[in-house]
Chains A and B, each alone.
Chain A
Amino acid sequence: MNTTTAERLEAPPAPPNKVMTSLSEAKHLSFWAENAAPIGLVVLVIVFSFLSPTFLTIGNITAMLVAAAILVVLAVAQAFVITTGGIDLSISATMTIGAVGFGLAYQAGISFWPAALIAILSATVIGVINGLLIAKGKVTDFIATLGTLGVATGLALILTDGKPIAVTSTELLRLTTGKVGFVPYPFILAAIVGVIAWFVMFRTRYGLHVQAVGGSEEASVANGVKAPRVRIAVYVWAAGLAGLASLLLVARIGAAEPAVNTNYLLNSIAAVVLGGVALTGGRAKIVGPILGALLLTALTNGLTLLAVSQFYQPLAVGLVVVLAALLTRFQKR
């Protein structure tokens, strides 16, 4: 499923039985730390399906998958950035720029596909700026993306005059309502993004360089890795994915809103942390952050079904993330 775990299991000479091995590993905190996202997801599903009869209905699962799609895409993007030891605080504002880019293009009478391309390209511009600031300008990732977060948020408000642009596109309507079986199109898109991201991270030269630069930039450079180029690319890809996510967002809302979307930013980082990726970089995971995104969506959905006030949702998300972060301390290194 995930090469990091697969390779860790390969390392000791021929474990007699993988089930027994994982059972004996379950005594250690590191087991829970490595698998926080899948375990947490299973526990949440069990708890909520007991508490609410609607939780595990096909209709609700479809609704959850639609809701999770945006976060899955953003979490995958954030996972790449965090693997290099960086962070992208501008990711949700970049998505907003993409949405506004799409809205303005669509308003100007441009048809769906070119407008979608404009959305992705306008988001990518923010990523290029992030990458250049961080890799060439040597600005700390935190400060650089905090800056572009402000710039992108402001630009979105200025360009739209603070008003949402209603979008009535048949393509977007099909994207948001279509499904294969009970799996909605947005989630299929997110899953494709996840598969490609996994492949890029663990099977290509670029992915290896991302992990190497995150593990030790000095050692990577000494071995001929062009670290600045790798860093720029990671922010550009992240922004491009945020642009893709912006299409899902516009489809979901039915309008291009210049809203701040802070929730998506926090949850994208939270999903990556839940997925067991160390913020110090070097240890890549793709499946973990995707499961983390699903967990956070299930948590929000379950609390809504139980008619828990919306005010408690950020509180619950915050507690889960802090718990996960505490657990990662016990990960095997």
Chain B
Amino acid sequence: MTTMGSSTDTATDTVLTAENITKSFGGVHALKGASITMRRGEVTALIGDNGAGKSTLVRCLSGIHKPDSGTITLDGNPVQIDNPLAAKHHGIETVQQNLALVEDLTVWQNFFVGREIVKGFGPFQMLDRKAMRDKAGTLLSGLAVNVPPVTSRVRRLSGGQRQAVAIARAAGWGSSIVIMDEPTAALGVQETARVESVIRKLQDSGVAVLLISHNFDQVLRLAQHVWVMRGGLAVAERRTAETSGDELVALITGAQAA
């Protein structure tokens, strides 16, 4: 599959391998055996036209969809990712395209919903609201973006602030892989720059980032490796240092064979 002869030396620094992932919704075959790898400490980009299967693949990795077949390997160990909690348990955090924020809840509630900090025992467990507010505040300010107060409702936040909340939430759990599905698609220029700096920060801290993006400049700017998807398959991979926007477009449309 790899034409660059890199498969031998990646064996050691590959953090995630997805092999022959298939997923159908009724008669629609969204994924027809896609395989990708991610290297430790790198930003890996996933590009492709609408309907190429990018989001479905991401949803399989983050436990929202269960693949029909195929294997996912983390650090050389095959893993089952049956639900979002399992993905988080394996250190895979995802910033969904829709951000997966509950608008009626506050920022800190969104941070911790699903894995709350509690105090007390047995039936008398209650939420440790102060601990959660403090930790959410620390994690958010660590991103050094236009920080919203942790007690404000997500409904009141701007698009950039929401993105910051979703990213800080994903980054805040000591995870080894963070998946971002079009994190800047809805953002302005300044906010995009902020999110890109966050992605660099994540990478510097040793996190492997899987970045889904339609923006080739962004991909070439941020990523070290890029996978191209077409028709439910990962059809090509390139080192970003050795490719160009034109070549990526040709690979996406199929004008150039892998």
Q: List residues of A whose CB falls within 8 A of some B CB.
A: 7, 10-11, 199, 203-205, 208-209, 211-212, 214-216, 218-225, 282-283, 333
Q: Are B98 and A218 in contact (CB under 8 A)?
A: yes
Sampled A-B contacts (17; CB under 8 Å): A10-B151, A11-B151, A199-B126, A203-B127, A205-B116, A205-B118, A205-B127, A208-B105, A209-B113, A211-B109, A216-B100, A216-B102, A221-B84, A224-B88, A224-B114, A225-B114, A282-B104
- Given A211-B105, A215-B102, A215-B105, the answer on whether A220 and B149 have CB atoms closer than 8 Å is no
Is B106's beta carbon under 8 Å from chain A? yes
- Chain B residues near A221 (CB, 8 Å)? 64, 84
Would A204 and B101 be within 8 Å (CB), given that A10-B151, A224-B85, A224-B88 are in contact? no
B33-73 interface mask toward A, CB cutoff 8 Å, 1 = contact, 0 = none?
00000000000000000000000000000101000000000
Q: How far is the CB of B86 from chain A (nearest CB, A)?
A: 9
Are A208 and B127 interface neighbours, CB within 8 A? yes
Residues on the A chain within 8 Å of B125, using CB = 204-205
A333 touches B116 (CB 8 A): no
Asked if A219 and B84 sit within 8 Å, CB to CB, the answer is: no
B83 within 8 A of A: yes
Q: Which of B90-104 contact A (CB under 8 A)?
A: 94, 96, 98-104
Q: Tell me if B103 and A216 are in contact (CB < 8 A).
A: yes
B221 interface hit (Cβ, 8 Å): no
Closest A residue, CB atoms, query B99: A219
Given known A-B contacts A11-B151, A223-B100, A224-B88, A208 and B126 have beta carbons under 8 A apart = no
Q: Does more than half of chain B's interface fall in helix, strand or loop, or is it mixed? A: loop
Pairwise interchain contact A208-B113, C-beta atoms closer than 8 A: yes
Contact in complex: B118, A222 (CB < 8 Å): no
For A6, the closest partner residue in chain B by CB is B151
The answer to whether B104 touches A224 (Cβ under 8 A) is: no
Does chain A have a CB within 8 A of B155? yes
From A207, which residue of chain B is reached at the shortest CB distance? B127
Contact of A224 with B151 in the complex, beta carbons under 8 Å:
no
Most buried by B among A220, A224, A282: A224
B169 to A, closest residue via Cβ? A223
* Contact A212-B84, Cβ < 8 Å, known A11-B151, A205-B118, A225-B113: no
Q: In the complex, are the beta carbons of B109 and A208 less than 8 A apart?
A: yes
A199, A204, A282: the one within 8 Å of B102 (CB): A282
**Pairwise interchain contact A7-B106, C-beta atoms closer than 8 A:** yes
Q: Which residues of chain A come closer than 8 Å to B62, judged between CB atoms? A: 222
Interface centre among B99, B118, B127 (most CB of A within 10 A): B127
B85 neighbours in A (Cβ, 8 Å) = 224
Instruction: Name B83's closest neighbour in chain A (CB-CB).
Output: A224
Q: A85 CB to closest chain B CB, in angstroms? A: 10
> Nearest-CB distance from A196 to chain B (Å)?
11
Which residue of A has the minimal Cβ distance to B94? A222
CA distance A37 to B153 in the complex (A): 23
CB nearest neighbor in B for A282: B104
Q: Which residues of B contact A220 (CB under 8 A)?
A: 102, 113-114
Question: In whole Å, how far is B148's beta carbon from the nearest beta carbon of chain A?
Answer: 10
Smallest CB–CB gap between A60 and chain B, Å? Answer: 38
Q: How far is it, in angstroms, between the C-alpha of A203 and the C-alpha of B105 when the chains are bound?
A: 14
Cα distance A32–B109 in the bound complex, in angstroms: 27
Q: Which residues of A contact B116 (CB under 8 A)?
A: 205, 208
Of the candidates B116, B129, B153, the one having the most CB atoms from chain A within 10 angstroms of its own CB is B153
Question: Is B152 interfacial (CB-CB < 8 Å)?
Answer: yes
